[in-house]
A and B are shown apart, each in its own frame.
Chain A
């Protein structure tokens, strides 16, 4: 029966060991069990856009185009912007089904009234055709004069219990004031071309 008395201590050691293993696994997977890529990934999609815009004026950028290759909806969680420059105000993000927005001079787009949704929690349906396309729309506005950009969007989402992040090579630049010549306001380089 001495063996039976040792049971709680042994059990505690087992729990501690299992917890340590799980922690190590979580850390090696990127800190919080997030898998890169997944069914929304489009590794080679690319759009880079630009336009001159007055300080405090608003534009909308079609910041990612999502096609869900899973059989169940993907639930959007959040985004982060790569190489975002200070002075570039970003609004949203919003989600809209097949919005058609490239880069326009208003935010939010009045044509899409009633079709815009907050991104967190938005469910991207399985892709069967263009009607299932979902665009992530980001409002852009220069807070100061200058050339202001970000070069890509990381989209965090989940399918079932699994969490993913994928990068869209979609960049935008706005140049303030709006009188900046167009040829001095080039789109940001693709993230593939960055050092």
Chain B
């Protein structure tokens, strides 16, 4: 019994000496901090200046599970502290460092010292088990992508290893040549290519540029045109994007190159791949021109209203028109690719409905040119390859009604009710932006082609506008075909 009492006294004394805290075990001092695992680093690989390196806080324990009051964190370059120490409240946790230019080629490590009230802080600092050595940043990106897409064979499969070159699409009254392409690329394993150029000297006063994409894969020539608008901020926009810009950066739609039955061996072109055609002049020669009526829009007006469609304000056109190309195997038109026409030989024109319930397509004259394209050797003047295009060249003017569209009248409260807008008496509606409808068979061009039908699309813009004046009747209706009239590709009329 005396032994039991003595043992009890010893236990009570030990408890009191420990400050009344919970038992901490017999092999550690209460609050003592133990490093379980060192901090570790994560960072992008490779790591460039400006990147963020993240360090874990490491693994730590305290005797008796005493809470951490905080920790010091610091960063070291080749073993010397360059950032910190900084105090952070709470248990050791992750923290970051932004890589500096001065860190290039040097070893970065983090270090942590955990602290609690009884033990103080763990020393020495626990350095990270891993390190990061930043490298020099990659060279600045080249000029922005002007045109990209895929090269396909006749079965639609991707063509790796095709050569693709970017040129200006030249308008000339005689002959003009380009010595070097703006860019050249080889398609990757997926048949993808990307061609880059800055805007310097390439755009017209409205910011538009028309490019020619020439490609060759063995005996197969490829050709396309692509219109682009410089956004003034380092990017190219396609025609649709220029008329209906996204609120976030996106690349223009792909320009895919498909075979058109031409043959390099048969004298067709363009040949941008064979060594004999490497150092050449890319020459464009005007063969002939003709003036053809082309759809520039439409006007639909119901009753008790006057509508006016105006084109070419500021004496500048605003139409996207497809081209025809013959690479040696016959004429082809790509419905998805356009040349933008800004050049004009006319002042603005407008059409107003002469009667109620009037709906027609509207046409105007454009000059179309047939060009011969040749790649001519710099060395001996030999013509490496020849191909032809038919392209819109400039707006010639005039406006007149085309096909009757009155079957679309008076459907704003039925077929197109979801896209209807209601207007009261003596009100006026105007629209000067957003893309309009793409017209198939917008123009038929001959120029020795046998009759080539081209696509065309205008964008409502400062150059192209709608204005409706409604009369004294109580109710008037406009509607879009695919959206409300503020952003539809067609403006229809009548309830």
A interface with B by C-beta (< 8 Å)? 1, 3-4, 7, 10-11, 14, 37-38, 41-52, 59, 62, 65, 98, 100-105, 129-131, 133, 166, 169-170, 182-183, 185-187, 190, 192-193
Q: How far is the CB of A82 from chain B (nearest CB, A)?
A: 16
List 15 contacting pairs A-B, 8 Å CB cutoff, sorted by A.
Answer: A10-B86, A11-B70, A43-B246, A44-B434, A45-B434, A46-B434, A47-B431, A49-B429, A50-B427, A102-B421, A102-B422, A102-B423, A102-B429, A169-B433, A193-B462
Residue of A nearest to B432 (CB): A190
In the assembled complex, how far is the CB of residue B244 from the closest CB belonging to chain A, in whole angstroms?
5
* Segment 442-495 of B: residues with Cβ below 8 Å from A: 460, 462, 467, 469, 478, 484-487
B435–chain A nearest beta-carbon distance, Å: 8
Q: A48 near B87 (CB under 8 angstroms)?
A: no
B86→A14 contact, CB < 8 A: yes
Residues of chain B in range 239-269 having any CB-CB distance to chain A below 8 Å: 243-248
Partner of A105, one of B69, B424, B433: B424
A42: chain B residues within 8 A (beta carbon): 486-487
With A4-B120, A46-B460 as known contacts, state yes or no: A51 contacts B418, CB within 8 Å.
no
Q: Is B485 within 8 A of A47, CB to CB?
A: yes
Chain A: which residue is nearest B423 at the CB level? A102
Whether the Cβ atoms of A182 and B428 lie closer than 8 Å is: yes
- The listed residue (A7, A44, A130) touching B419 by CB distance below 8 A is A130
Supposing A65-B486, A102-B429 touch, asked if A49 and B423 sit within 8 A by C-beta, the answer is yes
A44 and B427 in contact, given A102-B421, A102-B478 (Cβ under 8 angstroms) = no
Total number of B residues with any Cβ neighbor in A under 8 Å: 42
Give the dominant DSSP class at A's interface: mixed
Whether A187 pairs with B430 at a CB distance below 8 angstroms is: yes
Kindly state the separation between the CA atoms of A38 and B418 in the bound complex, as whole angstroms: 24
The secondary structure that dominates the B interface is mixed
A63 to chain B, nearest CB (A): 11
Q: How does the 8 Å CB contact mask read for B407-430 relative to A, with 1 for contact and 0 for none? A: 000000000011111111111111
Inter-chain contacts of B247 with A (CB < 8 A): 37-38, 41, 43, 166
Assembled-state Cα–Cα distance A102/B70 (Å): 63
> Which residues on the A side are within 8 Å of B83 (C-beta)?
none
**CB within 8 Å for A186 and B429 given contacts A4-B115, A11-B87, A104-B422:** no
Q: What residues of A have a CB within 8 angstroms of the CB of B426 in the complex?
A: 51-52, 182
Q: How far is the CB of B39 from chain A (nearest CB, A)?
A: 19
Q: Chain B's nearest CB lies how many Å from the CB of A43?
A: 5
- Give Cα distance in the complex from A16 to B69, angstroms: 20
Residues of A within 8 A of B424 (CB): 51, 59, 103-105
Q: How far is the CB of B485 from chain A (nearest CB, A)?
A: 7
- CB of B422 within 8 A of CB of A100, answer yes
Q: When the two chains form their complex, are residues A47 and B429 in contact, meaning their CB atoms are under 8 A apart?
A: yes
The interface residues of chain B lying within 8 Å CB-to-CB of A193 are 432, 462
In whole angstroms, how far apart are the Cα atoms of A130 and B485 in the complex? Answer: 13
Query: Nearest residue in B to A50 (C-beta to C-beta)?
Result: B428
Q: Give the nearest-CB partner of A182 in chain B.
A: B426
> Which residue in chain A gives the minimum CB-CB distance to B427?
A51
Option from B467, B478, B486 in Cβ contact (under 8 Å) with A170: B486
A98-B427 CB under 8 A given contacts A3-B121, A45-B486: no
Q: Which residues of A contact B422 (CB under 8 A)?
A: 100-102, 104
What CA separation (Å) do A44 and B231 show in the bound complex? 14
Note all chain A residues with C-beta closer than 8 A to B243.
44
Minimum CB–CB distance from A96 to chain B (whole Å) comes to 12
Q: B432 contacts A46, CB within 8 Å?
A: yes
CA distance A94 to B425 in the complex (A): 22
Q: Would B423 and A103 count as touching, CB distance under 8 A?
A: yes
| B65 within 8 Å of A (CB atoms) | no
Leading 8 A-B pairs by shortest Cβ distance: A130-B418, A102-B421, A37-B247, A51-B427, A41-B247, A46-B433, A10-B87, A105-B424
Report if A131-B434 is in contact (Cβ < 8 Å); known contacts: A49-B427, A103-B423, A104-B423: no
Cα separation A42 to B485 with both chains bound (whole Å):
13
Query: Which residue on chain A has the smallest CB distance to residue B245?
Result: A43
Closest chain A residue to B460, Cβ basis: A46
How far is A62 from B429 in the complex, measured between Cα atoms in Å?
12
Q: How far is the CB of A11 from chain B (nearest CB, A)?
A: 5
Interface centre among B70, B243, B423, B428 (most CB of A within 10 A): B428
Q: Is the CB of B462 within 8 A of A192?
A: yes
Closest chain A residue to B485 by CB distance? A47
Of all chain A residues, the one with the shortest Cβ separation from B459 is: A44
Cα-based distance from A192 to B243 in the complex (angstroms)? 13
Interface pair A182/B432, CB less than 8 Å apart: no
Cβ–Cβ contact B418 & A46, under 8 A: no
Residues of B within 8 A of A52 (CB): 426
A residues in contact with B290, CB < 8 Å = none
- Rounded to whole angstroms, the CA-CA distance of A65 and B420 in the bound complex is 12
Q: Smallest CB-CB separation from B487: which chain A residue?
A: A45
Find chain A residues with CB under 8 A from B245 CB.
Answer: 43-44
> Would you give the 0/1 interface string for B63-83, flagging 1 where the beta carbon is closer than 8 Å to chain A?
000000110000000000000
Residues of A within 8 A of B121 (CB): 3-4
Residues of A within 8 A of B204 (CB): none
B contact residues around A104 at 8 Å (CB): 422-424, 427
Taking a contact as CB atoms closer than 8 A, the residue among B69, B86, B467, B487 that contacts A44 in the complex is: B487
In addition to A102-B423, A103-B423, A187-B467, 4 A-B residue pairs with Cβ atoms within 8 Å of each other are A10-B87, A46-B486, A47-B486, A49-B430
Q: Is B107 an interface residue (CB 8 A)?
A: no
A81 and B115 CA atoms in complex are apart in Å by: 57
Alpha-carbon gap, A119 to B87, bound state (A):
47
| Residues on the A chain within 8 Å of B428, using CB | 49-51, 182, 185-187
Q: Are A37 and B248 in contact (CB under 8 A)?
A: yes
Contact residues in A for B431 (Cβ distance below 8 Å): 46-48
Within 8 A of A (CB), among B351-399: none
Q: By the criterion CB–CB under 8 Å, are A11 and B89 in contact?
A: yes
Contacts of B430 in A (CB 8 A): 47-49, 186-187
